[in-house]
Amino acid sequence: MIVMKFGGSSLESPEAIQRVCHIVKERVPQAPLVVVSAHGATTNRLLQAAREARAGRREGMEDLLRQLREYHHELVRDTLSNGRAETALGAVDDHFDKLLEVLRGVAVLGELTPRTLDTVMSFGERISSRLVALALCEQGVAGSAVDARDYMVTDERHTQAQPNLAATYARLVPLRAAIRQGQVPVLGGFIGATEEGVTSTLGRGGSDFSASIIGAGVEADEIQIWTDVDGVLTSDPRVISNVHRLRAISFAEASELAYFGAKVLHPATMLPAMQKGIPVRVLNSRRPHVEGTRIVPDVQPCRNPVKAIACKKGITVVNVHSTRMLMAHGFLRRMFEVFDRFETPVDMVCTSEVSVSLTLDNTDRLVEIVAELERFSTVSAEGAQATVAIVGDSIRYTPGITARALAALGGVNVRMISQGASLLNLSLVVAEDQLHTAMQALHDEFFQDLDPEVFA
């Protein structure tokens, strides 16, 4: 049994949907369960429509919904034959009629609550699961649309809901029987519901997380993440050139890369799979013949100490200085209580006798945080920074990695450096405008002679 997750870029056109259906059909002997994202950029457009409604711009909101409705109509007409197209068009119109009603209510009230936003954002996956299931039937596969909200149980933290794994796994048991009987369930990723049945979402990128949870719940042999790249790469090809594909990588290494900005995987994706020991494979829906990257529980032996280099833009460095830190205790507790109070996670931390520097990738509450910290310290914030993470299980055993990295960076100013907090990771902070230079220099340094057993 396998779980196959397809992202929005893999479902953005009739040709892409047909390609996905062909990929699934070829793997019917492996008993697939399919998890889908919304088609193309639908989620972004839904968010934009919701914001238009909240601002009272009803005409703009309705125009966006008209465009989205027509986009889905075209997908249906160009993907399905007459009988199934009629069924799908009816479902699309029903969904958009309900969505329009919700957003008209938002426009009247001028308020968009997280709970309402979850309802709005869920429509993309709810539609795509119906359409993909019908498209599978068109190709002779027993596809069946399944409402993920009946299976994915979450808490009530709308827009960033956390799954109740025990309850979700219990609800997924009947799906195993359906798969064994030859059905191919198609579920929308990213969405779930509270115990009371209220629609919730797992946050942006949550379709990967959904696939991992569902794979763990149905005890899959493999979880496949189908995207628009050939697998996990040694770096981001949008930032630098001459990147390479990894044939295999450990769960721990992949999790580090995901957390520090690798776009192939959602940062939380690994956890359910890791707990159940289920391998994850990252594949390219446009090039299904490529073997992709297999992510496995155990470390893969490799003569290269570094497996990949990830980066994350939009970082802000916060500097906190206070002589009260000198020979004192409790200062860090007081400081981090501020971040906890404003529900803002901290990435990297570096300390000296009287100063602390830390990084944030979420600055929504930064003004309030700085104001609170200034009650007992001097604070400054520097935006337009980027984190660079050099990842590899052998880093901890290989002398001289830090020296090689800093020598390769040459004239690039390193704002912060952290090693030791993670055994797999050397992290640096540089200015965003120096990111390309830094990434290319580090990649050239660490990927000159590749182990053919690990790199393609």
pLDDT tens for the chain, 456 residues long, are 999 999 999 999 999 999 999 999 999 999 999 999 999 999 999 999 999 999 999 999 999 999 999 999 999 999 999 889 999 999 999 999 999 999 999 999 999 999 999 999 999 999 999 999 999 999 999 999 999 999 999 999 999 999 999 999 999 999 998 998 999 999 999 999 999 999 999 987 789 999 999 999 999 999 999 998 899 999 988 888 889 999 999 988 988 888 887 777 776 778 899 899 999 999 999 999 999 999 988 877 888 999 999 999 999 999 999 876 666 677 888 899 999 999 899 988 988 878 899 999 999 999 999 999 999 889 999 999 999 999 998 888 888 999 999 999 998 999 999 876 667 889 999 999 999 999 999 999 999 889 999 998
Same-domain check for residues 93 and 214: yes
> Is 286 domain-assigned?
no
State the CATH number of the domain containing residue 211: 3.40.1160.10
Q: How many domains does the chain divide into? A: 2
Question: Which structural domain, as residue segments, surrounds residue 13?
Answer: 2-227
Contacts of 395 (CB under 8 A, 6+ apart): 305, 306, 401, 419, 423, 424, 425, 426
Same domain, 28 and 172: yes
Which residue type is seen at 288? P
Instruction: Out of 227, 246, 275, pick the residue that ends a domain.
Output: 227
- Residue 260: inside a domain, yes or no? no
202 and 322 share a domain?
no
Residue 394: the pLDDT is 86
Domain boundary among 206, 227, 248: 227
Look at residue 234 and tell me if it is in a domain.
no
Task: Let me know if residue 172 belongs to a domain.
Answer: yes
Does residue 292 form part of some domain? no
Q: Is residue 267 part of a domain?
A: no
* In-domain check, residue 262: no
Asked if 208 and 80 sit in the same domain, the reply is yes
Same domain, 217 and 330: no
Query: For position 313, which CATH number holds?
Result: 3.30.2130.10
Domain co-membership, 23 together with 119: yes
Q: Are residues 191 and 312 in the same domain?
A: no
* Residue 266 is assigned to a structural domain of this protein: no
User: Of 210, 227, 244, at which residue does a domain stop?
Assistant: 227
pLDDT at 331: 81
